[in-house]
């Protein structure tokens, strides 16, 4: 008998929490579909049995989850849209490609803003990658991948913040203004293409596509921040704007990594 259980998730205010919940519940027998209502912080689980395991998994994430109702429901349409899956693979590929591009150019141009933005791209790639690779995989394997991804991101971000502090109190050559702006504009165009593809799909109203749209929109904001920092570096003849935007993005990356680590618990 198909059931529909609704949870109130107090701390589910962005796509990061949605992806964490998807990964945490992936592999539990009986779950047929997850519906997310981020604005109202509601999660609807369509399942057959196993409600205790589902509820415990939600509570383990410590996102303020609470079951508010459970009732019988009608059979649901489980048809998978392969086009949407290919689209998400494309978004993952673009994010990972620009992780490599921004990391390389950030190191060469001595821009911590570009380096930090590259890690943000990597963080998105991890979230999409874990979700896609975990399909059909074991919970143990999924947890191991999540732990490796989370600790790897935190390590890189902490090293990045340490480098920001060294440059802030030391005497360091100014980041290359033209490289910062040029590469960030390319990243901005890439994210714009991702937004166009995501909005073009017929499933744009579905939760996981909405999540991808918000992820990419956030990336656009960060790209604009790095571009602004580049202009300020040139205008003020100071590396401080680059260090400030780098620190902000590193903190965002650490916050996301901590959430990914919750999956492996």
Q: Is 204 exposed, middle or buried (0-12, 13-18, 19+ CB in 10 A)?
A: middle
Write down the residue that tokens 């947890």 correspond to. 143
As a whole number of angstroms, the distance between CA 65 and CA 25 comes to 13
- Portion of the chain with pLDDT greater than 90, in percent: 25
- Whether 139 shows a pLDDT value over 60: the answer reads no
As a whole number of angstroms, the distance between CA 160 and CA 250 comes to 7
Domains detected in the chain: 3-72 (3.30.70.100), 82-264 (no CATH)
- Whether 238 shows a pLDDT value over 70: the answer reads yes
Residue predicted with more confidence, 219 or 162: 162
For 117-122, what is the mean pLDDT? 86
For 155-162, what is the mean pLDDT? 87
Task: Report pLDDT digits (tens) over 163-191.
Answer: 888 888 877 788 998 999 999 999 999 88
Sheet of strand 31-37, all strands in order from the earlier edge strand to the far edge? 31-37, 42-47, 3-9, 65-72
Q: Which two tokens stand for residue 5?
A: 């259980």
As a whole number, the mean pLDDT across the chain is 80
Q: In this predicted structure, what is the pLDDT of residue 130?
A: 65
Q: What is the pTM of this model?
A: 0.62
């Amino acid at each position: 008998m198909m059931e529909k259980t609704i949870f109130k998730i107090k701390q589910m205010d962005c796509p990061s929490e949605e992806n964490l919940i998807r990964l945490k519940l992936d592999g539990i027998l009986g779950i047929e579909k997850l519906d997310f209502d981020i604005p109202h912080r509601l999660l609807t689980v369509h399942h057959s049995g196993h409600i205790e395991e589902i509820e415990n998994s939600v509570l383990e994430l410590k996102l303020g989850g609470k079951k508010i109702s459970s009732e019988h429901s009608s059979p649901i349409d489980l048809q998978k849209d392969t086009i949407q899956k290919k689209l998400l693979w494309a978004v993952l590929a673009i994010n990972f490609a620009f992780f490599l591009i921004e990391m390389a150019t950030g190191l060469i141009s001595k821009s911590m803003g570009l380096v930090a933005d590259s890690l943000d791209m990597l963080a998105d790639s991890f979230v999409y990658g874990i979700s896609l690779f975990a399909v059909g995989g074991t919970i143990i394997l999924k947890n191991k991948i999540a732990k490796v991804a989370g600790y790897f991101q935190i390590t890189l971000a902490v090293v990045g913040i340490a480098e920001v502090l060294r440059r802030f109190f030391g005497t360091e050559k100014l980041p290359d203004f033209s490289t910062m702006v040029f590469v960030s504009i390319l990243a901005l165009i890439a994210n714009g293409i991702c937004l166009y593809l995501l909005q073009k799909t017929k499933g744009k109203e579905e939760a996981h596509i909405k999540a991808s749209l918000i992820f990419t929109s956030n990336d656009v904001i960060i790209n604009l921040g790095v571009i602004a920092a580049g202009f300020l570096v040139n205008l003020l003849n100071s590396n401080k704007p680059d260090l400030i935007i780098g620190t902000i993005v590193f903190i965002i990356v650490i916050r996301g990594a901590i959430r990914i680590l919750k999956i492996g618990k």
